[in-house]
Chains A and B, each alone.
Chain A
Amino acid sequence: MLRREVPAVLTTVMAIFVFLSAMLFPLEEMKILARTDSLLQFMGNMALFLGGINLFRLHSRNIKKKREYWPFSLWLLAVFVFFTVLGIVKGNNDPLYKGLYDALIVPVNASMHSISAFFLCSAAFKAFRIKNLDSIVLMISAVWVMLASVPIGEIISPNVGIVKDWLLAVPGSAVARAMANGLFLAGFAATLRIFLGLERRHLGQ
């Protein structure tokens, strides 16, 4: 009962309340949503601690059992503890914290992101095949938009950019809107299933 029914009832009651609060003036005036928002902020911050504990638990177990690649777990925990202590003691405006951030996190993240240029090219080489009319149209428009997104397009012809803008604004927008509407309605149906208690996997059913 506590594990199944209570969460289901709470979900339904809160869903009705939040929905009506966004629509009905008397409920909005009570500013209850602003209070629940503060609770959400609090929960979000508490989640950071729980995440840290979970990370610690998992990697301590890796080290303890000397599993494969356990030195990486050790390294992760060492960096995790170092940055947490530094952030708490000195604050994130400390020159050491900022310096490490700029010297380590920024280039590492940028490197990871830059890999996408290489992977994209190899994926395009392997996957972009003109198998039928659809794929021909897709490839021509993709190449056109790519060319128009860099100065070469302009060098070829000033019309390249005009066609690209039209492709994005008319057919591109139409498809994006259709997808967005489909997603919204499907999301709404899924929400209703949760709301009506038909979808209960999150309660272990």
Chain B
Amino acid sequence: MDLMLLAAEAEAAVPKWGIFVDVEGAISGLLTTLILTGLTYYWITAARAGRNIPSIRRLPGLDAITEAVGRATEMGRPVMLANRRDGLGDVETFALWGYLSHAATLAAQYDTRFINLTGSHLVLAVNEAVIQQAYLEAGRPDAFNQDDCRYFPSNQWPWSSHCAGIIMRERPAALLWVGSWSGEASILPEAGSQIEAIQIAAVTTTGQLPFFIASCDYVLMSGEVYAASAYLSKEPVMTGTIVAEDCAKLLLMAIAVLGALVEIARPASQWMTNLLKF
């Protein structure tokens, strides 16, 4: 055993270019990050300087939240927003808070009960604060009900049966599914459609999209999900980050086309593959 440890110590890692770790994609990854950061900085600065920046196209799924809360108010039934498995450090959770704040503010303004269900108790603590703040901003702090901010351990099927139970018992008229989902996506939206709720989904897991598309009225997918905060805030600085993201997409498309052409023309060289792995 000692020999093995000595051998492991003898094989000291060698840096790439003297300072970079010897891992595939370390330098190209750093360059990509710097380019994306530069683009974002440029567009934020442009927005702050008051220059004209492109606006975000209409996202019907986000506009429909107002309609859904309005319908729930007319029917005297609650609005529910659910998210199961995203934790405090997940970027989906930051997107979730944008939806939560917007929907809770609308519910507070319309005097409609708002239920939130999460699978992470750490996220619950922040959710409570976000919803409370929304009620405060709507001028109705007294209407905030802590018991409607609910947590159930995120174990997939127990959580799903708990969530389906709430749907059947409380019969929310509007259901919002936000974040990443697993197999429960094949059950929950269908449970929602059985009580004829308006359903809006903002889903980051591509594999589960078909289930939401089959049962929901509106589905936000891929990059749209994260654009909510910027779209809802209407702040030019926030919009600047989305414009930067689109510029990066164009750049990526150009690299993909160039890479494909080079690999077709000189398949043996693999230089684009090697460049990206560098």
Q: A residues within 8 Å of B by Cβ?
A: 19, 22-26, 28-29, 47, 50-51, 54-55, 58, 61, 68-69, 108-109, 112-113, 115-116, 119-120, 122-124, 126-128, 176, 178-183, 185-194, 196, 198-199, 201-202, 204-205
Contact = CB atoms under 8 A, between A and B. Distances in A.
B20 A24 contact: yes
Interface string B65-76: 000000000000
B143 interface: no
Interface stretch (B77-85, B106-114, B153-161, B261-269): B153-161
Interface string B134-159: 00000000000001001111001110
Interface of B: 13, 15-16, 18-22, 26-27, 29-30, 33, 36-37, 40, 44, 91, 93-95, 97-98, 101, 121-122, 124, 126, 129-130, 133, 147, 150-153, 156-158, 160-161, 169, 183, 186-187, 189-191, 193, 204, 206, 211, 213-215, 221-227, 229-230, 237-238, 241-242, 244-245, 248-249, 252
9 contacts: A23-B27, A25-B20, A28-B21, A54-B121, A123-B214, A178-B222, A179-B222, A192-B36, A193-B94
Nearest to B33: A19
Nearest to A125: B214
Given A109-B158, A194-B91, 15 more contacts: A19-B33, A24-B21, A25-B13, A25-B21, A54-B124, A116-B186, A120-B186, A122-B190, A126-B214, A127-B215, A183-B223, A186-B222, A189-B40, A199-B229, A204-B129
B121 A115 contact: no
B251 to A, nearest CB: 10
Contacts of B227: 186
Nearest to B152: A55
Given A23-B20, A69-B169, A186-B222, A119 B190 contact: yes
B237 A202 contact: no
B226 A189 contact: yes
A188 B19 contact: no
B241 A185 contact: no
Contacts of B230: 193
A187 B121 contact: no
A201 B233 CA distance: 12
B186 A26 contact: no
Given A23-B20, A185-B245, A47 B223 contact: no
Nearest to A65: B147
Contact of A23 (B13, B30, B158): B30
A25 B23 CA distance: 10
B72 to A, nearest CB: 20
A190 B157 contact: no
B35 to A, nearest CB: 11
B157 A109 contact: yes
Contacts of A112: 157-158, 160-161, 187
A28 B19 CA distance: 10
Contact of B204 (A115, A127, A183, A188): A183
B37 A192 contact: yes
B172 to A, nearest CB: 16
A68 B166 CA distance: 12
A73 B74 CA distance: 32
A119 B192 CA distance: 11
Contact of A127 (B27, B183, B214, B222): B214
Contacts of B95: 190
Contact of A192 (B40, B122, B189, B221): B40
A28 B12 CA distance: 13
A152 B26 CA distance: 47
Contacts of B248: 185, 188
A47 B151 CA distance: 13
Contacts of A54: 121, 124, 151
A123 B40 contact: no
A113 B185 CA distance: 11
A201 to B, nearest CB: 4
B121 A50 contact: yes
Given A180-B206, A194-B94, A198-B237, A119 B21 contact: no
